[in-house]
Chains A and B, each alone.
Chain A
Amino acid sequence: QVQLVQSGSELKKPGASVNVSCKASGYLFTSYAMTWVRQAPGQGLEWIGWINTNTRNPTYAQGFAGRFVFSFDTSVRTAFLQITSLKAEDTAVYYCARGPAPLDYWGQGTLVTVSS
């Protein structure tokens, strides 16, 4: 069965970096893109963007290009979200999801807390 398993919660200081991983199983990794979505406390779902797992071409929503970087390693069927220069407002649950859309399978979410 299809599964996306994300890395555990992270507590980081402002200005630090964080890497969130998303390990896929149950399907051919390169047959589907990977999308990243976040939910800040008390807020709705926010689309960060997606990466084409064939061309490696990423697409970022406005405001996310630069500090947010998508990558993946096909040998371990794992996608990564790196966030640099963390800010308090980056505190959120980050989800990976299969596809550019519709998003039919989701990871369980990774809580990233940015606090001094």
Chain B
Amino acid sequence: EIVLTQSPDTLSLSPGERATLSCRASQSVGGNYLAWYQHKPGQAPRLLIYGASSRATGIPDRFSGSGSGTDFTLTISRLEPEDVAVYYCQQYGSSPRAFGQGTKVEIK
């Protein structure tokens, strides 16, 4: 079973700053099948990135994903107030397709 560990737990940045979120897997993620989701309170989660680096439909290009194997990163190039949310990674290369514990992004 692959365990995903996200860091940091909370990220507090000013608008326009760069946000770097990490997701580390306990074993290599097959096929780099790693997705990132954005989850705002009271809303359904939203798919941002799949296959480690492919942006989902309609996702702004300030969101980008990178990494392979056991280390993956979600970058928000210029943080905007509407990006306040909890971000989760999920691996889907093997079962169970568990989520990381999440990183909360706040605006200073």
Does chain B have a CB within 8 A of A7? Answer: no
Contacts of B23 in A (CB 8 A): none
Contacts of A47 in B (CB 8 A): 90, 96-99
Do residues A95 and B45 form an inter-chain contact, with CB atoms below 8 A?
A: yes
The 8 Å CB contact of A44, one of B44, B51, B56, B86, is B86
Taking residues whose C-beta sits less than 8 angstroms from the other chain, chain B's interface range is 20 to 34
Does chain B have a CB within 8 A of A46? Answer: yes
Q: A44-B86, A47-B90 are in contact. Are A103 and B99 (CB under 8 A)?
A: no
The 8 Å CB contact of A103, one of B35, B57, B100, B101, is B35
The 8 Å CB contact of B102, one of A44, A59, A62, A101, is A44
Taking residues whose C-beta sits less than 8 angstroms from the other chain, chain A's interface range is 20 to 34
Do residues A103 and B95 form an inter-chain contact, with CB atoms below 8 A?
A: no
Which interface residue of A101, A102, A104 has the most chain B CB atoms within 10 A? A102
A44 to chain B, nearest CB (A): 4
Do residues A45 and B35 form an inter-chain contact, with CB atoms below 8 A?
A: no
Do residues B33 and A101 form an inter-chain contact, with CB atoms below 8 A?
A: yes
Contacts of A101 in B (CB 8 A): 33, 35, 90, 92, 97
Which 7 residue pairs across A and B have the least CB separation, nearest first?
A101-B92, A106-B44, A102-B50, A102-B35, A44-B102, A45-B99, A61-B96
